[in-house]
Amino acid sequence: GAGVSQTPSNKVTEKGKYVELRCDPISGHTALYWYRQSLGQGPEFLIYFQGTGAADDSGLPNDRFFAVRPEGSVSTLKIQRTERGDSAVYLCASSSRRSVLGGNEQFFGPGTRLTVL
Amino acid sequence: SQKIEQNSEALNIQEGKTATLTCNYTNYSPAYLQWYRQDPGRGPVFLLLIRENEKEKRKERLKVTFDTTLKQSLFHITASQPADSATYLCALDDGGSQGNLIFGKGTKLSVKP
């Protein structure tokens, strides 16, 4: 597609439920990032994929959070036993492979607004 | 601990004036610094990237400076327009193989006609 897409755009769930958030990156982009953004804050890094593998998951807050990218394209962020504190906008970004010069720009999707009641 | 601060949560200026936004960081040595624009309900959109060995970079009405001694970047919008109203985020990139960004909280710019 022309840009990064994320589904659903909004998700309301009850405390304790399981949710999946999907990200479709720009075609050909090998790097994929998940961020979380709370109101009034900047995006906070969660996890980074290079191809199919999670190269850095140091930003995941705890083991309730998990993400996959089985074919190196679409990624799914999975949250188990949701808590009210998980409410935020979850942003996905993609980027082409980092060049020798580095500093690749990231292309963000519109985000999924998750509300845990 | 690493810290990144943007000078103010909100900045109000008159149309036609120059907006100057500040990004300061501590306990960090970024190889690159990026600026993004974010509109309500949207994801951030990349504007400019500046490398640690560059002092200044320009793109149309935008100018970014990067002072690694002061640990500060300034972002300028000249001849500002109401359409420039948005939140502007600075982000640090250490240049490692991962490429994940560390974002500031952002500054909400309002340009009044």
Mutate to test the interface with B, among A36, A91, A108, A112 (most CBs of B within 10 A): A108
Strands (E), A1-117: 5-7, 10-13, 19-24, 31-37, 44-50, 53-56, 65-68, 75-79, 88-95, 107-108, 112-116
**Domain-embedded: residue A36:** yes
Pairing of strands A19-24, A75-79: antiparallel
- CATH number for the domain that contains residue A36: 2.60.40.10
Cis, bond preceding A8 (omega within 30 deg of 0): yes
User: For residue A18, which amino acid is it?
Assistant: Y
pLDDT at residue B30 in the model: 85
The domains located in chain B, with CATH, are 3-11+21-98 (2.60.40.10)
Determine how many CB atoms are found less than 10 A away from the CB of residue B15. 13
CB contact A33 to B (< 8 Å) = yes
The number of distinct structural domains making up chain A is 1
The model's confidence at residue B9, banded by pLDDT at 50, 70 and 90, is confident
pLDDT at residue B3 in the model: 82
Of A4, A35, A102, nearest to B31 by CB-CB distance is A102
Instruction: Name the average pLDDT for chain B.
Output: 92
**Domain-embedded: residue A10:** no
pLDDT at residue A65 in the model: 98
In which domain, by residue range, is A68 found? 18-98
Q: Is the pLDDT of residue B96 over 80?
A: no
Per-residue pLDDT tens over the stretch B18-73 = 999 999 998 888 888 999 999 999 999 999 999 988 989 999 999 999 999 999 99
Q: Of the ranges A2-6, A10-14, A103-107, B29-33, which is most confident?
A: A10-14
Contact B43 A108 (CB under 8 A): yes
H helix intervals, A6-113: none
User: Using an 8 Å Cβ cutoff, are B94 and B28 in contact?
Assistant: yes
CB contact A67 to B (< 8 Å) = no
Q: Is the pLDDT of residue A71 over 80?
A: yes
Residues 6+ apart with CB under 8 A from B40: none
Instruction: Name the average pLDDT for chain A.
Output: 92
The model's confidence at residue A98, banded by pLDDT at 50, 70 and 90, is low
